[in-house]
Structure 1
Amino acid sequence: MVAVKAGILGATGAVGQRFVEALANHPWFEITALAASERSAGKTYREAAGWRLDTAMPESVENIEVVPVDPKAVDADVVFSALPADLAFTVEPEFAKAGFAVASNASSYRMEKDIPLVIPEVNPEHLGLIEVQQDARGWDGYIITNPNCSTIVMTVTLKPLMKFGLETVQVATMQAISGAGFSGVPAMAIYDNVIPYIGSEETKMETETLKLLGEFNGSEIVPADMKVSASCHRVPVIDGHTEAIWAGMRDKPAPEEVREAFLKFDPKLGELPSEPRKAIIVRDEVDRPQPRLDRNMGKGMSVSVGRIREGIRYIAMGHNTIRGAAGASVLNAELLHSIGKL
């Protein structure tokens, strides 16, 4: 198989580094461009990145020269966007117009009617919007997005519950500080503390979930007919978002039926390199899942669930910068490649 040329936009930031980690030895993709701000352009990636992951910087990228975030400077077929939302809003369409496939982790275009918001285990059929998007916008390329990190963790677990007639979802999140970026939460603000507000996070969870679980009718997404209510909180955990979820269902399944639905959930994506052996891991211990113990399950791509109780109430936990960010975009691109879209 000829490797697909991959570029990373915002390659020096926290999520950009996760993209580098995920793609450096990928069997389908080859990193051919690393793009970042003007202050980084012209430097080698080692000089520019300020590597902060607990794995070593891949040797294959150390001496790649960082280029500007400009379609003319990026040699790639697909670009993975780790750009902040305000910059992504103007830059990503430029790449799509120039013929690139853009796999975006940014929030800028997630809720646009003609742009797919995709979790491969949940709604792969929504990729049908790519043709709608290209026809409407006259682009040679396209943009595909993955959801917010907390939305991904929750919605992966909601998918197997749809068969019970999911009607209402309430969620309280306990979100890791890495979700705000390396310098996003001051140490004096988060030590010995819980911050009961994360800007726009609740709205993202409440709206993105309805699009993800909606139906593609050939021209647009009809949002799912349910109510989602979220309360989001920042806690002093480095990586791993934990969520307490209450799911109201028409058929009122017993906890054991919900447990079986989680255990048997098989999205049949095993041919994708980043897809974990189990998308959902069920923990039966009374005190699991826990971020420190469970966030790296499935190389950070599995979502762990536990404490399934009458109600239905349960705990879900996933790695926010892998499953909830870079890994999600890479998995989306793998799905695109598997169906001949790259």
Structure 2
Amino acid sequence: MINVGVLGATGAVGQRFVQLLADHPWFNLTTLTASDRSAGKTYGSVVNWRLDSPFPDSSAELIVSPTTVDAVKDCDVVFSALPADIATKLETDIADAGVGVCSNASSHRMEADVPLMIAEVNPEHAALIDVQRKKGRDGFIVTNPNCSTIMLATALAPLRKFPFTNINVATMQAISGAGFEGVPAFSIYDNVIPYIGSEEEKMAREANKILGILEGGKITGAPFTVSASCNRVPVIDGHTLNVWIDIKATPAEVIDAFKTWQPPFSGLPTQPDHTVLYLDQENRPQPRLDRNRGNAMTVSVGRVREGIRFVAMGHNTIRGAAGASVLNAELLHTMKYI
């Protein structure tokens, strides 16, 4: 078994990591870290479990450690749900100490030698780990994208066989994306908030890196631009995207691409049967009805129209965060990086 830990295990994404890792067939969850006020206590006694899945009893008696390099030195890989300001230095120190880091934090996503990965979309970018190791790093850092970017880039993956340039996207993002305490109830009930800090910028730059070409140890960004308008809406889980794309393809060709696309590998524990699933109903996808498809790892698409316009939707804390990071680690294990 591969010993793994979770950094920031009591927060929204941290709890998702614990849920996904508790009974994982490859990964043995041995270490959980949190703030100093939780350190030294059992996870079951300090976590305020808020997920809609049962609390994993196998994690209840794990003693929470402080979030330090020493706390994870016996792990093969750690999953980071840390805030970006804490993750910047700590993830670097952990990787330099010889431990693999699969991070949901934004701190290192755009660094030239750090893979920004969606496992089924750009697995070849894992080779950037070799670039890190040539610089003397014993471990590695691999990041997954922003939650809305994951939905967009995954939906675009089947369309790469067609030339496309400008992409416009309007998001309707769930409140869970802001963390448990992120949006006050009085602010979001009966409301839409048309601003999410730095979200639009992340979508614009991250998608180019994900769909870019790796040559000679460097990524050349994809030749398109993304213009995003991001909104917080009163949905608990599930980000919905309206996408307009300048593409040389007909609606029928786009629908066929969605329906026939296959990722470059299959069979990993967290991988869904359908990474991208096209729904023919004219009023789908919908968060409440479709976010849990493929154990919440499927990105559902629909409503392809002239233009080309379509809708994409996925579960933001699973496919868009913790699940994406776990799937990255599974892929890295098959590639002998873990």
- Give the TM-score normalised by structure 2: 0.98
Report the counterpart of residue 276 of structure 1 in structure 2. 272
1:15 to partner: Cα distance? 0.3
Report the counterpart of residue 96 of structure 1 in structure 2. 95
CA distance in 1, matches of 2:71, 2:212: 38
- For residues 106-145 of structure 1, the aligned pairs below 5 Å read 106-136=105-135, 138-145=136-143
- Alpha-carbon contact 1:128-1:218 (below 8 Å) kept: no
Report the counterpart of residue 84 of structure 2 in structure 1. 85
1:218 to partner: Cα distance? 2.2
Report the counterpart of residue 290 of structure 2 in structure 1. 294
CA distance in 2, matches of 1:98, 1:164: 43
Secondary structure of 1:31's counterpart equals strand
**Residue 170 of structure 2: which of 166, 169, 172 is its match?**
172
1:89 to partner: Cα distance? 0.6
Report the counterpart of residue 255 of structure 2 in structure 1. 259
1:217 to partner: Cα distance? 0.5
- Alpha-carbon contact 1:98-1:140 (below 8 Å) kept: yes
Deviations 1:46-89 (A, max 9, x none): 11111111111111100000011112122311000000110001
Secondary structure of 2:300's counterpart equals strand
Report the counterpart of residue 10 of structure 2 in structure 1. 12
Q: How many residues align?
A: 337
Q: Which amino acid is the alignment partner of residue 44 of structure 1?
A: T
Report the counterpart of residue 204 of structure 1 in structure 2. 202
Q: Which amino acid is the alignment partner of residue 205 of structure 2?
A: T
CA distance in 2, matches of 1:56, 1:316: 28
Secondary structure of 1:232's counterpart equals strand
Q: Which amino acid is the alignment partner of residue 35 of structure 2?
A: S
CA distance in 2, matches of 1:221, 1:39: 41
In structure 1, list runs of 5 or more residues that go unmatched: none
CA distance in 2, matches of 1:268, 1:26: 22
- For residues 52-71 of structure 1, the aligned pairs below 5 Å read 52-71=50-69
CA distance in 2, matches of 1:209, 1:62: 38
CA distance in 2, matches of 1:331, 1:8: 15
1:268 to partner: Cα distance? 3.4
Q: Which amino acid is the alignment partner of residue 234 of structure 2?
A: P
Q: Which runs of 4+ in 1 moved over 3 A?
A: none
- Report the more deviating stretch, 292-301 or 262-271: 262-271
CA distance in 1, matches of 2:189, 2:222: 39
Q: Which amino acid is the alignment partner of residue 12 of structure 2?
A: A
Report the counterpart of residue 21 of structure 1 in structure 2. 19
CA distance in 2, matches of 1:73, 1:246: 46
- For residues 186-197 of structure 1, the aligned pairs below 5 Å read 186-197=184-195
Report the counterpart of residue 311 of structure 2 in structure 1. 315
**How much is the aligned-residue C-alpha RMSD, in angstroms?**
0.8
In structure 2, list runs of 5 or more residues that go unmatched: none
CA distance in 2, matches of 1:317, 1:230: 15
- Alpha-carbon contact 1:300-1:318 (below 8 Å) kept: yes
1:269 to partner: Cα distance? 2.5
